[in-house]
Amino acid sequence: MEKEETRGWRDVWLIALKTFASLAASVALGTHLTNKYLEGLLCTRRHK
């Protein structure tokens, strides 16, 4: 999990329509894996 967290902050993802949770959402959910499980439009995200 530490490698995934490092990769997530280090690498630039060039994926169209990729959504990212805000820092506050990541902190509230308690995991850096939040971005892997989000989909939908900005402000209308839902969990897979």
Contact 28, 35 (CB under 8 A): no
CA distances to 42, 47 from 35, rounded to whole Å, are: 13, 10
- Domains of the chain, by residue range, sit at 2-47
Q: Please state the pTM of the whole predicted model.
A: 0.31
Contact 8, 25 (CB under 8 A): no
- In this prediction, residue 29 carries a pLDDT of 74
Q: Scanning the structure block, which residue is given the tokens 């308690």?
A: 30
Per-residue pLDDT reduced to its tens digit, 1-48? 777 777 666 666 665 555 667 777 777 777 766 666 555 555 555 544
- In this prediction, residue 1 carries a pLDDT of 72
